[in-house]
Homo-oligomer: A and B are copies of this chain.
């Protein structure tokens, strides 16, 4: 069955997040004063070719993709979710 991986990439705690700051400020300006903080991250959804690879094998490959391309591990952390389509 084809699998889908969702990779959530966000800044590590303590890393300055000017984009999140801007979102929170803009929301406050629009009258949403209950918002005290905002952070922006990204989600990458990957669709795979049909294969016999098990869940663990797919997860290991996605982890490799994160380390090599999808996340900048100096400042970003990531979380992987696998789903069957």
Contact = CB atoms under 8 A, between A and B. Distances in A.
A47 B35 contact: yes
A-B interface, 9 closest residue pairs, ranked by CB to CB distance from nearest = A37-B47, A39-B45, A41-B43, A34-B48, A34-B49, A36-B49, A38-B46, A40-B44, A36-B47
Interface of A: 8, 10, 20, 23-24, 26-27, 30, 32-49, 51, 53, 61, 64-65, 68-70
B45 A38 contact: yes
Contact of A8 (B30, B39, B43): B43
A47 to B, nearest CB: 4
Contacts of A36: 47-49
A20 B7 CA distance: 13
